[in-house]
A and B are shown apart, each in its own frame.
Chain A
Amino acid sequence: MKQNDYLQLNNLVKDFHDGRGNIVRAVDNISLSISKGEFVTLLGPSGCGKTTTLRMVAGFEVQSSGDIILDDKKINNVPAFNRNMPMVFQSYALFPHLTIYENIAYGLQVRKMPKDTIRNDVAMAAQMVNLVGLENRYPGELSGGQQQRVALARALVLKPEIILFDEPLSNLDAKLRIQTRTEIKRVQQLLGITALYVTHDQSEALSISDTIVIMHNGKIVQSGSPEDIYNHPADPFVSDFIGNANFFEGKITELDNRFVTVSLLGSEVRVPAANVQDGLGRGNDVMLAIKPEAVEVKPDTGQFTGKIEVSSFLGATTEYKVEYSDGFLTAIHPNTHGEVHNYRFGQDVRFSFKTDFFKVYKR
C-alpha cells in the first residue's frame, strides 16, 4: 500500500435533480488523495458540496460518476453499512430510545461481537472520551457536550481506520467548541486514525487539520497545509473566505524577477513577484488582496489617507473600519504591550500596507 493515497477520490461527480426538471451539480469532478493517519478537512461555505462529498464517501449518496478507492480497492458499490467508516453527525444522531451504553455498543452489537468484548470495548471508549458514569443515562439527559462525546465514542469503539465528521461542533457553544476540537485532535493522533472532517468554520479548520481542502461551487479551489492556505491563498475567493481580505483594483505598471509594481489608489505599491498569480504581465488589470492584519493605521504617517468609520475593541486586537477614497477597508491591530491607539469615530488617519502580504490576482 502506498502511504500517501490510502483514501482516494477520483473525478467524483454528484448531480441532483431539483424536482423541476433541472440538474444541479453539487459536486463537480473532484479528486483527492488522503494518507493514512492524515487529518483532512473539507472547508467551504454552505452549498459548496463538502457534505455531499462526505456522504458519498460514507455511502449515503451514490456518485453520478467517479471512483472512491480505499486501500487500493474500489468501494463504489460497497453499501454504507459495510464501509466501516463511522461518522459523527452534526445532529449527533444519538438513538434516543437507547442508553449511552447501548448507543456506544450499537455498532458492535450489529456486528454480533461477543458480549464480553462489547462490554470491554464500550468501557474503554467511554473512558477515552470521559463518559464514565453516564452509561445508564439516556441521550436526552445529557448536555450538548456530553452528547457530542457519545457520538465520538460510538465511532471510536469500532476501532475504525477512518472516521468521518460532518460539522460535529456546530451545535456547541464557542468555548466548548474549542475544547472539543482539541479533544478530537488528541484522540485522532493518539490512535493514528485517518479523519475526513467537514466544516464551514475556518478557524476550526486551521487549528485541527493536517490538510485543508477548500471547496467552492462543487469544485476544489485549493488544498494544502493550514499555513500554506492562510499565507498563500490561491484566488480571491480563498483570500476572502480564509482571511476576510480587503480587495483593491489595480494595474501592473512594471515587473522584474523580484518585484512587481502595481498602481493602487492613485499611488503605487511594490509586491514580491512570488505573490503574483502566474501569467500576469505589464499592463494587466489585477485584483489586490490583503489581510486586515497587514493594514497599518497611523495618526500621521502612511501612504494613504482615510477616516475612522468604526473602531471595535476586541480584547487581544482592535478592529478598525476605515473609509478611504474608494470605499471601506478593515484593519486589525494587535493590542500588545499596551500600545493601544484609541482612534475616534470620524478621526482623519493615514494608513499603509505591509506590501509583502499583498496577493495579486487576475481581474
Chain B
Amino acid sequence: MNIARKPRRINSSFHQLTREPALMIGVIIITGLLILFILYPMFAAAKMSLTPNGQFSGSVYRYVLTHSQYLNAIRNSVFLGAIVATLATFIGFLFAFSLTRVRIGGKRFFQGMALLPIISPPFMFALSVILLFGRNGLITSKLLGMDMANIYGLKGLVIVQTVSMFPIAYMTLSGILQGIDPDLETCAMNLGAKRGKAFLTVTLPLALPGIFASWLLVFVSSLTDFGNPIIIGGNFNVLSVQAYLEFTGMGNLPRGTALAMLLLVPTVGVFFIQKYIMKNKSYVTVTGKSSRRSTSQSSAALRIILTLLCAVISGFILLFYATIIGGSFIKLWGINWSFTLNHFIYSWDVGFTTMKNTLFLAIISTPITALFGMAIAFIVVRKDFPGKHIMEFVSMLSYAIPGTAVGIGYILAFNKAPFELSGTAFILITCYVFRNVPIGVEGGIAALKQISNEIEESSINLGATSAATFRKITLPLIRPAIFSGATFAFVRSMTAISAIIFLVSARWNHMTVLILAQTEIMRLGAASVMSFALIIVIMVFIFIIMKVTGLGREQIFGTTK
C-alpha cells in the first residue's frame, strides 16, 4: 500500500459514516457498549491491583510473585494446563482423525459423545469422578475395597478437565483435518510412501498449526477453569481458585484482583498467537479443485483400533453421565445404596426458583447476544469506517479474558454510581452478553464473508431494494450462523460459573452456583439431580431450536458432516 493513498481511504470511510447517519449512530452505540462492558471493567480491575492504597504501586504483584503459596498456584496452573492440553489434544485428534479421515463407523454416536461435554455443567465430571473414585466411590471403595482413595488434586483434575475439554480440540482439529485435501495423502502413497509415512510427512505437518492452536485453546481453558478445581482440586492450589478465595473469602480485593490479572497474561497472549496461526493457516488449500474423494486407504486393523479407542473414551463419558443419573436416585452414596426420590423433592424445594431464574436470564440474554454479535459482524464485514478493526478486536477480546477476571472486573466497575448494578439481573445479563458475543461475531463474520458482494448486487440489480435484499438473500444465508451463535450463547449462559459466581445474589442466583454449594456441603445426591436437570433443560432447548429452525446438529455446532 503506498502512503499517498491512505489519507484518501480514511477520508472516504469517514464519508460513509456521515452519509449514513444510522450507521454512525450504530457505530457509536456499539463502541460505547464495548468500552463500558469489556474495557472499563478490566480497567477497574487493573486499577484495583495497581493502587492498593490509593497510590500507584506494584507492591501487590511483588508480594504475589515472591510468596511460595502464590508461586505454587501459578506453577500448578501451568503444569495442569500443559498436561490437560496435551491429553485433550491427543484425544481430540484421535476423534477428529477417526471421524473425518478414516471414517470409522458409528459417526453420529461418536460425534455426539464429542459434543456432550460442551453442553454439560462445568463441574459435572468432577462430581461424577468423586462419586466413582472418591472416598466413598463406587469403584474405589465398593469394587476395589480401597479405604482412603484420594482422587482430589492433580489426578482428578487431569481426568475431569481432559474429558470436559477434549471437545474443544476435536472441533478445532476436525475443521483443520477436513481442510486437508485427501488427494495429498493419496498422492504421497502413489509416490511410494506407506500409509504411516504418508501420515507423518503430509497429514501431520499440515495439521500441525491446528494441533498447536488446539493445544493453546485447551491450555487456556484449563488455566481459567474454576468449576472443576474448586470441587476436586483439593490441596492442589490453582490460580483461578486462589483468586476467588482471596477476593471473596479473605476480602483481600487487591491481591485477589492481581491474581486474576495474572491469568489475563497467558490468555491474551494465546489470543494473539491464535489469531496469527489462523491467519497463516491459509496454505491448507492452495491448488485447484480436489477430486473430493475421501481416502478409504486405511487398513481394517487401523479402523478397528481407532474404533476401539474412541469407544473406550466414549464409554468413559457415558459412565460419567450414568453415574450422575444413578447418583440422583441413591439415598446416600457409598453408605446407603437404596433407591430414593428424596433428592428430587429436596432439589425441587431448594432449586426450583433458581432454575427458573437461571433459565429466564439465559433466555433473555440469548437473542440479545446473537443479534448484537451479528450486528457487529455485519458492520465489520460490510461497512467501512475508521476504527472498525479495533471494534472487531475489542468484541473478540472478551473471549480472551478469563471469567474470574471478568467477574472481579464487573464487581469493581459496577458497584457504585453511576453504574450501580451489583446484585441485579441486569449485571448478569450484560455479563452473559459480552462474554458470549465473540462466538456470534466470529460466526457472523465467517457467514457474511461467504456471501459474495455479487450475490447481493445481483439481487439489487434484479430490482430488490437493499432492505428486501437483506430480508430475502442475506438473512436466510446467515440464519444458521445466528442460531448457532444463539445456541452457544444459551449453553454458555446456563453453564457459566467462573465470572458469575462473583455476581450472583440471593435474588438472582444461578444453578451452577447452587450445585457448587450442594457439593460443598456433601449433598452429592442433590447436586447430581440438579446437574442432571440442567443438562435436560439445555438439551430440550437445543432440541426445540433444531425443530423450529429445521437446522441439523452439524449446522448448529459447526462440526463435520
- Is B one of A's binding partners? yes
Which A positions have Cβ atoms within 8 angstroms of B? 51, 55, 58-60, 79-87, 89-97, 106-107, 110-111, 138-140, 144, 147, 154-155, 158, 166, 171
> How far is it, in angstroms, between the C-alpha of A260 and the C-alpha of B32 when the chains are bound?
90
| Distance from B106 Cβ to chain A, minimum over Cβ atoms (Å) | 15
Q: Given A94-B286, A96-B206, is A80 in contact with B190 using a C-beta cutoff of 8 Å?
A: yes
Q: Is the Cβ of A89 less than 8 Å from the Cβ of B286?
A: no
**Which B residues between 270 and 307 are near A, CB-CB below 8 angstroms?**
282-291, 293, 295, 297
Q: Is the Cβ of B286 less than 8 Å from the Cβ of A90?
A: no
* From A55, A107, A139, contact of B191 by CB (8 A): A107
* From A79, A91, A110, A171, contact of B201 by CB (8 A): A110
| Distance from B345 Cβ to chain A, minimum over Cβ atoms (Å) | 49
Among B11-19, B181-189, B245-253, the stretch in contact with A: B181-189
> How far is it, in angstroms, between the C-alpha of A65 and the C-alpha of B285 when the chains are bound?
36
> How far is it, in angstroms, between the C-alpha of A155 and the C-alpha of B286 when the chains are bound?
20
Using A81-B197, A95-B188 as known contacts, list a sample of 13 further A-B pairs with CB atoms less than 8 Å apart, ordered by residue number in A.
A60-B189, A89-B183, A91-B183, A93-B184, A93-B187, A95-B201, A95-B202, A96-B284, A110-B191, A110-B197, A110-B201, A140-B283, A154-B191
* From A80, A92, A154, A166, contact of B189 by CB (8 A): A80
11 inter-chain pairs at a CB distance below 8 angstroms, sorted by A residue, are A80-B190, A81-B194, A89-B183, A90-B288, A91-B181, A91-B291, A95-B188, A95-B201, A110-B191, A158-B192, A166-B291
B205 on interface, CB distance cutoff 8 Å: yes
* From A86, A91, A111, A138, contact of B190 by CB (8 A): A86
| Distance from B195 Cβ to chain A, minimum over Cβ atoms (Å) | 8
| Distance from B383 Cβ to chain A, minimum over Cβ atoms (Å) | 31
Question: A92 to chain B: which residues have CB within 8 Å?
Answer: 287-288
A60, A95, A111, most chain B CB atoms within 10 A: A95
B102 on interface, CB distance cutoff 8 Å: no
Question: A111 to chain B: which residues have CB within 8 Å?
Answer: 192
| Distance from B511 Cβ to chain A, minimum over Cβ atoms (Å) | 42
Main secondary structure of the interface of A (DSSP, over half): loop
B193 on interface, CB distance cutoff 8 Å: yes
Q: Is the Cβ of B288 less than 8 Å from the Cβ of A60?
A: no
* From A60, A87, A95, contact of B297 by CB (8 A): A60
Chain B residue at minimum C-beta to C-beta distance from A109:
B201
Question: 5 tightest CB-CB pairs across the interface, nearest first?
Answer: A171-B288, A107-B191, A93-B187, A93-B183, A140-B286
> How far is it, in angstroms, between the C-alpha of A82 and the C-alpha of B285 when the chains are bound?
28
Question: A80 to chain B: which residues have CB within 8 Å?
Answer: 186, 189-190, 297
> How far is it, in angstroms, between the C-alpha of A94 and the C-alpha of B285 when the chains are bound?
10
> How far is it, in angstroms, between the C-alpha of A110 and the C-alpha of B289 when the chains are bound?
26
| Distance from A176 Cβ to chain B, minimum over Cβ atoms (Å) | 12
> How far is it, in angstroms, between the C-alpha of A254 and the C-alpha of B189 when the chains are bound?
60
Question: A147 to chain B: which residues have CB within 8 Å?
Answer: 287-288
> How far is it, in angstroms, between the C-alpha of A87 and the C-alpha of B190 when the chains are bound?
7
* From A59, A83, A97, A158, contact of B283 by CB (8 A): A97
Q: Is the Cβ of B291 less than 8 Å from the Cβ of A97?
A: no
> How far is it, in angstroms, between the C-alpha of A220 and the C-alpha of B297 when the chains are bound?
27
> How far is it, in angstroms, between the C-alpha of A111 and the C-alpha of B197 when the chains are bound?
11
Chain A residue at minimum C-beta to C-beta distance from B291:
A90
Question: A110 to chain B: which residues have CB within 8 Å?
Answer: 188, 191-194, 197, 201
A82, A91, A111, most chain B CB atoms within 10 A: A91
Q: Is the Cβ of B201 less than 8 Å from the Cβ of A93?
A: no
Question: A86 to chain B: which residues have CB within 8 Å?
Answer: 190-191
> How far is it, in angstroms, between the C-alpha of A94 and the C-alpha of B295 when the chains are bound?
16
Q: Is the Cβ of B287 less than 8 Å from the Cβ of A139?
A: yes
Question: A84 to chain B: which residues have CB within 8 Å?
Answer: 192
Q: Is the Cβ of A106 less than 8 Å from the Cβ of B183?
A: no
Question: A139 to chain B: which residues have CB within 8 Å?
Answer: 286-287
Q: Is the Cβ of B283 less than 8 Å from the Cβ of A91?
A: no
Question: B291 to chain A: which residues have CB within 8 Å?
Answer: 51, 89-91, 166
Q: Is the Cβ of B191 less than 8 Å from the Cβ of A91?
A: no
Question: A91 to chain B: which residues have CB within 8 Å?
Answer: 181, 183, 287-291
Question: B282 to chain A: which residues have CB within 8 Å?
Answer: 140
Question: B190 to chain A: which residues have CB within 8 Å?
Answer: 58-60, 80-81, 83, 85-87
Q: Is the Cβ of A81 less than 8 Å from the Cβ of B192?
A: yes
> How far is it, in angstroms, between the C-alpha of A95 and the C-alpha of B189 when the chains are bound?
12
Q: Is the Cβ of A93 less than 8 Å from the Cβ of B283?
A: no
Q: Is the Cβ of B288 less than 8 Å from the Cβ of A106?
A: no
* From B181, B193, B284, contact of A93 by CB (8 A): B181
Q: Is the Cβ of B192 less than 8 Å from the Cβ of A107?
A: yes
> How far is it, in angstroms, between the C-alpha of A80 and the C-alpha of B191 when the chains are bound?
9
Q: Is the Cβ of B286 less than 8 Å from the Cβ of A144?
A: no
* From A51, A60, A93, contact of B287 by CB (8 A): A93
Q: Is the Cβ of B287 less than 8 Å from the Cβ of A106?
A: no
| Distance from A89 Cβ to chain B, minimum over Cβ atoms (Å) | 5
* From B192, B193, B201, B287, contact of A94 by CB (8 A): B287
> How far is it, in angstroms, between the C-alpha of A55 and the C-alpha of B284 when the chains are bound?
24
| Distance from B190 Cβ to chain A, minimum over Cβ atoms (Å) | 5
Chain B residue at minimum C-beta to C-beta distance from A84:
B192
Q: Given A93-B183, A97-B206, is A106 in contact with B188 using a C-beta cutoff of 8 Å?
A: yes
Question: B201 to chain A: which residues have CB within 8 Å?
Answer: 95, 106, 110
| Distance from A225 Cβ to chain B, minimum over Cβ atoms (Å) | 29
Chain A residue at minimum C-beta to C-beta distance from B182:
A93
> How far is it, in angstroms, between the C-alpha of A144 and the C-alpha of B288 when the chains are bound?
8
Question: B205 to chain A: which residues have CB within 8 Å?
Answer: 97
Q: Is the Cβ of A96 less than 8 Å from the Cβ of B286?
A: yes
| Distance from A138 Cβ to chain B, minimum over Cβ atoms (Å) | 7
Q: Is the Cβ of B283 less than 8 Å from the Cβ of A96?
A: yes
> How far is it, in angstroms, between the C-alpha of A80 and the C-alpha of B297 when the chains are bound?
9
Question: A60 to chain B: which residues have CB within 8 Å?
Answer: 186, 189-190, 295, 297
Question: B290 to chain A: which residues have CB within 8 Å?
Answer: 90-91
> How far is it, in angstroms, between the C-alpha of A122 and the C-alpha of B283 when the chains are bound?
23
Question: A58 to chain B: which residues have CB within 8 Å?
Answer: 190
Question: B284 to chain A: which residues have CB within 8 Å?
Answer: 96
> How far is it, in angstroms, between the C-alpha of A106 and the C-alpha of B192 when the chains are bound?
9
| Distance from A327 Cβ to chain B, minimum over Cβ atoms (Å) | 34
Q: Is the Cβ of B183 less than 8 Å from the Cβ of A81?
A: no
> How far is it, in angstroms, between the C-alpha of A79 and the C-alpha of B283 when the chains are bound?
29
Question: B187 to chain A: which residues have CB within 8 Å?
Answer: 87, 89, 93, 95
Chain B residue at minimum C-beta to C-beta distance from A157:
B191
Chain B residue at minimum C-beta to C-beta distance from A82:
B192
**Which B residues between 287 and 341 are near A, CB-CB below 8 angstroms?**
287-291, 293, 295, 297
> How far is it, in angstroms, between the C-alpha of A298 and the C-alpha of B189 when the chains are bound?
59
> How far is it, in angstroms, between the C-alpha of A16 and the C-alpha of B45 when the chains are bound?
63
> How far is it, in angstroms, between the C-alpha of A60 and the C-alpha of B195 when the chains are bound?
12
Question: B186 to chain A: which residues have CB within 8 Å?
Answer: 60, 80, 89, 93
Question: A83 to chain B: which residues have CB within 8 Å?
Answer: 190
A80, A82, A154, A171, most chain B CB atoms within 10 A: A80
Question: B191 to chain A: which residues have CB within 8 Å?
Answer: 81, 86, 106-107, 110, 154-155, 158
| Distance from A88 Cβ to chain B, minimum over Cβ atoms (Å) | 9
Question: B206 to chain A: which residues have CB within 8 Å?
Answer: 96-97
**Which B residues between 172 and 221 are near A, CB-CB below 8 angstroms?**
181, 183-184, 186-195, 197-198, 201-202, 205-206
> How far is it, in angstroms, between the C-alpha of A101 and the C-alpha of B201 when the chains are bound?
15
Question: A106 to chain B: which residues have CB within 8 Å?
Answer: 188, 191, 193, 201
| Distance from B458 Cβ to chain A, minimum over Cβ atoms (Å) | 25
| Distance from B5 Cβ to chain A, minimum over Cβ atoms (Å) | 26
> How far is it, in angstroms, between the C-alpha of A82 and the C-alpha of B190 when the chains are bound?
8
Question: B295 to chain A: which residues have CB within 8 Å?
Answer: 60
